[in-house]
Amino acid sequence: MSDISITATSVVAGAGARVEHGTAGTTITAGQWVYKDAATGRYLLADSNSATAAARVPRGIALNGGANGQPVAIALSGPVTIGGTLTAGVGYYLSDTPGGTCPVADVGSGEYATFLGMATSTTVLNIDIQASGVAL
């Protein structure tokens, strides 16, 4: 398998999703996982095998796209239609592709396992981020 293919225009927070707003520190597309850089306070792309420890722990998923310096909305938890095809009941993890989402079966050697959430349908991911801090 590979990363979930996401249609950015279909990413929508569901009822009860917790959302915060901030500023992009790089080009971000809706549906990509981001972390908040401590030095700049801006959002950057999360990556499960990054050399930067903070990048391996996403804060949430971008609900809109933006270039460096533009405003972004980030879903931190709760239901989000992620604009891709999921398998209900499967756990999804941070990918080694910056900002990407992959099923548990695709988490590989050298990656830090970070659970993003459980698919509650073929389109909705219930975000509940849990970083293991452990490389496989």
Structural domains in the chain, CATH included, are 8-135 (2.40.300)
Cβ-Cβ contacts under 8 Å for 95 (sequence gap 6 or more): 3, 47, 48, 101, 102, 106
Q: What is the pLDDT of residue 86?
A: 95
Q: Is the pLDDT of residue 66 over 80?
A: yes
Query: pLDDT digits over 93-122, tens only?
Result: 999 999 999 988 888 788 889 999 999 999
Rounded CA gap, 25 and 43, in Å?
5
Please indicate whether residue 111 or residue 130 has the higher confidence score (pLDDT). Answer: 130
pTM for the complete prediction?
Answer: 0.94
